Amino acid sequence: MKNKTFIKNGVTCKKLGGYIFVQVRMVWVAQHRLIVEEKIGRTLRSEESVHHLNSIKTDNHIENLMLFPTQAEHKSFENKIQQFGKTTNIQRQIRNRWKINTQQSQQVVDTFPPSYNSLGGL
């Protein structure tokens, strides 16, 4: 039963590894990646990683998602939360994750938090 497909709001879906996948042009795609792509207006690169802020893999509301440039930065973010909790710096990065980058075109969204390795232990 865990890999069976189901219909939700007229879309064919399945759960795999706890995540919801949807069928797009005969290809299964993680729903959370599609939602972030819609938010930022471009296709995600394969190395980019999406984090669920509340750790619930099926909660794909944009308010619960955060994009990282690499899986390594995603893992570093999770490790810092486990080690230090949601510090002021982490809370600020979560709040600012979808703000427009005013130094670039207004159509480009600054999707990446600063490198967590450069934060020096928060």
For residues 76-93, give the mean pLDDT: 92
Q: What is the mean pLDDT of residues 38-50?
A: 95
**Dihedral angle sign, alpha carbons of residues 11, 31, 61, 96:** negative
- Of the chain, the percentage scoring pLDDT greater than 70 comes to 79
Whether residue 56 has pLDDT greater than 70 = yes
- Tell me the residue range of the domain where 90 lies: 5-119
Mean pLDDT on 27-51: 94
Q: Measure the CA–CA gap between 122 and 119, rounded to whole angstroms.
A: 5
Q: What is the pTM of this model?
A: 0.74
Check whether 4 has a pLDDT greater than 90: no
Query: H helices of 1-70, where?
Result: 31-40
* Domain total in the chain: 1
Q: Helix, strand, or coil here: 47?
A: coil
CB neighbours of residue 116 within 10 Å: 22
